[in-house]
Chain A
Amino acid sequence: MQTFRFDPCDLPPSAIALRSEIREFLSTELDGYPTRKRAETWMGWDADFSRKLGEQGWIGMTWPKQYGGHERSALDRYVVLEEMLSAGAPVAAHWIGDRQSGPLLLNYGTEEQRQKYLPNIASGESFFCIGMSEPDSGSDLASVRTKAEHADGGWRINGTKLWTSGAHKAHVMIALFRTATEEGNRHGGLTQFLVDLDTPGITVRPIKDLSGNAHFNEVIFEDVQVADTQRVGDTHGAWKQVTAELAYERSGPERYLSCYPLMAELVEELSQKNSVGEREEIEIGRVVAEISTLRQMSVSVAGMLEAGQNPALEASVVKDLGAVLEQRMPGLATDLLERPFLVGSGGLDEAAAYLVQNAPSFSLRGGTREILRGIIARGLGLR
């Protein structure tokens, strides 16, 4: 049985200095920014804000300077992430490029690809999305069927990607396509490509979620021609790249802080009441204990990333515990405030109404609870 390692990690002095710099920046930039918008955290899209973060040097922080990065530590980057999330800053536009597309290109991309894409991600001007899921491939990622076939010296793509967050606004998709079918090897025959979303033959259709907002999409590829220079890594060799990418996708503090702005407003409202009951204190205190503990776990994962280790299993532990916590928050607000949250009312109520409706996605996106527990069970040697 593999045991999980969460070595304690101290943030370096550079990270502590950086934190005050970020807080100052955010207090100016987000002055008067409504709670309802803050509640979107890393689903909130604001291209101007992303460009400003790029100017601050807070995107692509750990990347080499030659690609527009800043060669800072993963722990400095961690502080930027948690400060943005806790403040509810609109970071969606650059989030995916910074979190996983950039690192993927650094690990597996060609020199030409790195030079072409990385500096624009780091400056907050080029936005990425991830083309993994399909109509018949959700958790079972190896079953993807969208095909890339050799044609005219490059590749021709046909098929459909689904649930692609931000595809309607992003510039580039890193997509997983089937390039071969091999009997008995489901993980073989998959290849990743950089697809510029303005390539002819691509149709992006936003899909409304149950709250009425559209952040994810159906992306249809009809005879889309992509050059071989856009292939990321080896032909048929994407499975290990995707697995590594998912570890990045699951390792960050966004997996427990999605409801933090609501928590802050809930506590703020309680603090303004004349008297607060024992029940409120206990329930708030329990969440404080869980947030604080998850943060230590999350910092520990960042420390392992900084040390060049592979905390994929620990990241799954944090995401599973984190999703349970953040998913509980809107219900807790409902319980403690005991009033219906009205859409259009502004303030805490509208933020809560938004999160009540969005919470189901927290244990679906980026790997369902069932997938994560399967990964943890494998770590325990059960499968």
Chain B
Amino acid sequence: MNDLQTMLADTANRLFTDKITKSIRISAEEGEWPGELWASVEENGFPLVLVSEACGGAGALWPDALVLLKACGIHAVPLPLAETILAAWFLDQAGIEVPQGPLTFGPADLTVNGDGTSLSRPMSDVPFAGVCGHVVALMPEEDGLRVALFADPQVESQVSTIARDPVSKVSFSAPAIASSTASLPGNSAQLFGALVRSAAIAGALQSILLQAVQYAGERVQFGRPISKFQAIQHQLAELATQAASVGVASDTAARAVLADPNNAEFDIAAAKVRAADAAQIGASIAHQTHGAIGFTYEHGLHFWTRRLWSWGPEYGGASHWAQILGKKAIEGGGHHLWSTVTAR
């Protein structure tokens, strides 16, 4: 890690360890907005980490921001922090000023004409729309990505993910307050959404590994800590290898975005395939290690495992991204595959 990454990691760890109490997690799941927590996140400049310094952001690079995106998983942060970081980056890339407060984003059908930019039909599955003052709507255009900033989302209906994060169908009473294009891929919402979820999964796997190792060292059965049983040791070793793999895959994807956001699909796809597969393996091992207590609401393991189950399929699961990789590999032919793999 470079100095900035170490600083971001330390700040995030201190802040989240301090402020995210169990009661905050529970009330957030019950629909109460953790405003104070959000205020400290904003004070530390986290939401604008990827926004250029000229526009009031931290001007950090993707590999630096990844530290915060992993922290969203390490600490199971009950805020739209990843969504805001990404939405702010889209706005910055399109030269649109980033408004205050939590942001969210999603793909949209937009009508762009002389009167401005408006929604052709409501956006669906928008995370945290009910608590965000602004929504960034994204649509592919011939020469890049249309980025439109809407204010005051009207929530038409709302459900929640397994992580108990709200997702909504939204519309707006007014046209976009700003609309521009960015030279980013047309599928940016899903593509970069997959990257932020991969990073969060890497973080969450790291955390459940730590929790399971600690629990196995404390829980005594048959006269010894269960960590002394080889069956447990080998399962936790497997969890560790999965966590390491997703960490590396998401680091690689972030470096690919830094190099060229328009040529990062291979590495993001690989990261999300690994992340989605590992999320299932990892959550299953952590629960098996924790036994019945880990299955209770009272014990906190589920704050992480439910997020893993939810994040795995969000923005495309393993099969979705694997198919994209597989199709390209097969189209390219077996004798060109190795140069694709080594081109990074």
Contacts and interface: CB of A to CB of B under 8 A. Distances in A.
A73 B273 CA distance: 32
Which of A296, A297, A317 gathers most chain B CB within 10 Å? A296
B334 A264 contact: yes
A318 to B, nearest CB: 9
A50 to B, nearest CB: 22
B334 A280 contact: no
Contacts, number: 172
Contacts of A263: 334, 337
Interface string B97-126: 000000000000000000000000000000
Contacts of B245: 293-294, 297, 321
Given A8-B255, A264-B335, A267-B334, A288 B329 contact: yes
A288 B334 contact: no
Contact of B338 (A6, A7, A260, A379): A260
Interface residues of B, number: 56
B249 A296 contact: yes
A292 B217 CA distance: 34
A79 B177 CA distance: 52
A296 B326 contact: no
B233 A382 contact: yes
A86 B338 contact: yes
B234 interface: yes
A267 B330 contact: yes
B318 A376 contact: no
Interface in A258-309: 260, 263-271, 276, 278, 280-286, 288-297, 300
Interface residues of A, number: 54
Nearest to A268: B334
Interface in B304-344: 318-319, 321-327, 329-335, 337-338, 341-342, 344
Contact of B342 (A4, A19, A269): A19
Which of A266, A285, A290, A297 gathers most chain B CB within 10 Å? A285
Interface in B229-254: 230, 232-234, 236-238, 240-241, 244-245, 247-249, 251-252
A13 B241 CA distance: 30
A8 B241 CA distance: 17
A276 B322 contact: no
A288 B326 contact: yes
Contact of B326 (A264, A282, A295, A373): A282
Interface of A: 1, 3-4, 6-8, 19, 82, 86, 260, 263-271, 276, 278, 280-286, 288-297, 300, 314, 317, 320-321, 370, 372-374, 376-377, 379-383
10 contacts: A281-B323, A286-B273, A286-B322, A288-B325, A288-B326, A295-B341, A297-B248, A321-B245, A374-B230, A374-B237
